[in-house]
Amino acid sequence: MDYYRVVGPLVRLLPAETAHDAAICALRAGLVPAGAAFDHSALATECFGLSFKSPVGLAAGFDKNAAVVDALLAQGFGFVEAGTVTPLPQPGNPQPRMFRLKKEKGIINRLGFNNHGADVFVANLKRRKKAGVLGANIGRNKNSPDAVSDYLTGLERVYPHADYITINVSSPNTVGLRDLQQKTQLVALIKAITAKREELAEMQDRRIAVLYKIAPDLNLQQKQDIVEAALTHSVDGLIVSNTTVSRPSTLQSHNRGEQGGLSGEPLKTLSLAALRDIRSLSQGRIPLIGVGGIASAEDAYGFIRAGASLVQVYTALVYQGFHLVRRINEGLVQLLARDGFRNIASAVGTGE
């Protein structure tokens, strides 16, 4: 039963951030029923040295403090990415800072990496059952004088507890953060992160993948620079993409003029185009996670055929609830069978 058909309209009467906080509380209290199990051999896939029961994951931003990872995995996700977490706690930007665009099924947020800091994040991870793939998304503190140092601190703190780590250099809501995508700064960051990761891998006898999450608003030269840096320095993968600061002219919702990053269905065209560009520029040599506007099995399949080995959802859950995960997984199995693909891996990049 899709309980969200009843609960969803009531939840959406609350302010967007209040509704999000209520969802976290409900998950923590065990009030959200686990998703109906749906496993299929066609959905199982390998990426970054990890095994995923499904290619459909939860994007960073929902569980910033890794408070309900196990409850989220129980909804049927193949993996969950927690964060973004910063070394020190920070309140984020002034409220209100999250706005629904109901007509377009989108959201604008300017949260600003609000989180309880690495100490709480790690403590929560230590308590989990560790059943399922967990990604940790790390960022810099707003007022930190040294961004690279913040990322190295975050990497060191979460490394023992995550299955992969994402370096967030693309949120539009922390001043100067997106500058880290520029070639010189990005190369310096990648070198520092790579050296630290190799040190940690040797110390802990465990080498995990480090990914970089990029913006959808990059021009072609910027995308080329990122691909060259990623290939030159053996980056494990890229997540394409974060929210956009652009605004499609078709937006009609009254919140369309709010400052911040736009996500959800209005982002899909831009994020899919960015994914195609990165896939083409890299000639398929960099594993990719596709995210941004995925709201159905057809959307997820489109991203996979455009080159994504895995996909992530978030904003669509606001409008459809967690039952969406099962619908996407079931739909992917049907779409793969329709087109003669045995599994997800065999469909990746076939729509180029």
The dihedral of CA 223, 61, 265, 40: what is its sign? positive
d(CA 189, CA 169): 10
- Six-digit token pair at 265? 């269905």
Q: In sequence order, what DSSP letters do the residues of 125-169 get, joined into one string?
A: HHHS---SEEEEEE---TT-S-HHHHHHHHHHHHGGG-SEEEEE-
- In one-letter notation, the amino acid at residue 5 is R
d(CA 46, CA 51): 5
Q: Which residue has the tokens 């995995």?
A: 73
> Is 170 among the catalytic positions?
no
| Catalytic residue selected from 171, 241, 282, 309 | 171
Nearest to 137 by CA among 211, 76, 205, 53: 211
d(CA 6, CA 122): 35
Length of the chain counted residue by residue: 352
The distance from CA 351 to its chain's CA centroid, rounded to whole angstroms, is 23
Q: Is the peptide bond before 149 cis (omega within 30 degrees of 0)?
A: no
Alpha-helix residue ranges (DSSP H) falling in the chain: 4-11, 16-28, 69-73, 118-127, 147-158, 183-204, 220-232, 268-282, 297-305, 315-320, 323-338, 344-347
Three-class DSSP category at 120: helix
Most distant pair of Cα atoms in the chain: their distance: 54
- Six-digit token pair at 352? 């180029």
Cβ atoms 55, 333 nearer than 8 A: no
Active site residues: 171
